[in-house]
Amino acid sequence: MGLALLIVYLKTKFLRTNDERYNTSAKFWARIFGINFAVGVVTGIPREFQFGTNWAEFSKSAGGVIGQTLAMEGVFSFFLESSFLGLFLFGEKKLGRIGHWWAAFLVWLGSWLSGYLIVATDTWMQHPPRYTLGPHGEIQLSSFWQLLVNSWSVWQYAHTMLGAVQTGCFVMAAIGAFYLLTNRHEVYGRIFVKGGVLVGMVAALLQLFPTGDTQGKLISQHQPITLAAMEGVFHTQTGAPLAILGQPDVQKRKLDNPVEFPKMLSFLTYRNWSADIRGLDAFPEEDWPDMIPLLYYCYHVMVGLGTIFIAVMVLSALLCSALLWRGKLYAFRPMLWLLMLCVPLPYIANTAGWMTAELGRQPWLIYGLMRTAMASRHA
């Protein structure tokens, strides 16, 4: 999904500059996008069947809700994306310059619409709005638009897609850095590094604020027990510190070897240095997330890597500005090595982020409505 945006960026540069190198770059990355798309189709189809084979009770109870967004994802966004991807890859001569740009734009639109509908399904499970229970216990929506457009889905979608954009930017910049370090395809290496760094810097900053900040506030409002587990807060505190390192000991109800910023968690959550942060002791133990240590570590890996991404992209952008006028932008090897070695980190961060979201919701599959243990029973 991040690559789709970058392909549109490259095609737009081609239209504005008439530089064929941008067009060649867009077609190169479209092939990579096509491979990822094919893998997504092959792995995604079996997952549809898992709703019935592995989560029968969940499908029986919530199928009328999640079936709407997942069906829309297949009927609208998937076919939009796949149709115009084929036109983009094989129809440039027939479409012409403007038509080929529109094909790239519609591939981006289809992929991001697909992401929205999938995220909307997940966010309904995190924070189910406007529902009623039918005579047989089935969940029924009271408002279709609340399923599609609510504060949780909008902000989680933005946060998720910025993670995808950062992944695409790091991959593009890393390939460009590799070309420059090995003296291969240097013209394209410059295009990839510059585009990846500039777009990636914007995405990394937006990932922190406002999307990450707002997502944290939503968790504190609607899933305070998740916040306590993520941050390793076992006891309710006034002016709670922010732990950046530590090992949660669930049996002893404490965080071992913590490295903390005093009162920072209260300030970041409520903009009040003396605000109360409810700890795990404020909630029944049967409602605690099942794997608190794993949740804690996943969350801190995500946040830690996100901080590194901001540092790397901002530093790279500053070096771009400082070295451009001397003609040494693309010969500064430490920056190129840094960009190339960072390429696996966004994949780890995205995985850790999704694990944080799903582990934090436990023991609920649909928060407050259906526990995970109930969802896998035979219908």
pLDDT of residue 201: 94
pTM across the whole model: 0.94
Tell which residue, 156, 112, 151, 222, has the closest CA to residue 354: 156
The domain ranges of the chain are 1-149, 152-364
Which whole number is the average pLDDT over 16-39? 94
Helix axes of 79-90 and 92-126: crossing angle, nearest 10 degrees: 150
Cα(299)–Cα(283) distance, integer angstroms:
20
Confidence (pLDDT) at 164? 96
Model pLDDT, residue 326? 60
Nearest residue to 130 (alpha-carbon basis) of 140, 120, 119: 140
**Backbone CA torsion sign across 243, 249, 250, 253:** negative
Q: What span, in angstroms and rounded, lies between the C-alpha atoms of 106 and 112?
A: 10
The whole-angstrom separation of Cα 60 and Cα 256 is: 43
Q: What is the mean pLDDT of residues 333-360?
A: 95
pLDDT digits (tens, 9 = 90+) for 31-82: 999 999 989 888 888 887 888 888 888 988 998 898 889 889 888 888 899 9
Confidence of residue 175 (pLDDT cuts 50, 70, 90): very high
Strands (DSSP E) contained in 239-328 are 242-249, 254-261, 276-277
Omega prior to 346 cis, within 30 of 0: no
Residue recorded with tokens 């009162």 = 263
pLDDT in tens, 279-313: 999 999 999 999 999 999 999 999 999 999 999 99
pLDDT tens by residue, 237-288: 999 999 999 999 999 999 999 999 999 999 999 999 999 999 999 999 999 9
Q: How much is the pLDDT for 377?
A: 63
As beta bridge partners, residue 267 has none
